[in-house]
Amino acid sequence: MAETRKTFQIRQPQDVRYSGHGSGGFTASLEWDAGLAARLNGNLARAQTYVDQTCIDRMEPETPFRSGVLREAATLGTVTGSGLIVQSTPYARRQYYEHKKQSKWFERMKNRHKDSIQKEAGKIACGK
């Protein structure tokens, strides 16, 4: 079964012009920066790349180690920035759910580091 994921794509808003009638009469216009959507989409892509790479790096110590293949599989099987971390070894799923001491290493990493990852990703997404 193919994995599906959402991708965020911000579209450039249209300029808006308002005019009103009243005792003072007013006219207002809202003009968007022409590069707004491209800048925001770039920031979001950089933030997603940061999240993917940081999750891979921080779950490495949590991942069971015998020969190192399972740890390397996350780096080799993942397209950084895709939002999907893949460990494509024949035994990865079984190790993830059934390992006696080190199962669900992504969940354990997430519980320990999610706040710092979210904070830094938020800064990147805001362009800071």
Domain boundaries, the chain: 37-125
* pTM of the entire predicted model: 0.78
Among 17-26, 79-88, 115-124, the range scoring the smallest mean pLDDT is 17-26
Residue 59's nearest CA partner among 26, 92, 10 is 92
**Residue 62: strand pairing partners:** none
Q: Is 7 exposed, middle or buried (0-12, 13-18, 19+ CB in 10 A)?
A: exposed
Contact 72, 92 (CB under 8 A): no
Among 45-54, 67-76, 107-116, the range scoring the smallest mean pLDDT is 67-76
Can you tell me the mean pLDDT for 12-16?
A: 75
Mean per-residue pLDDT over the chain, rounded:
85
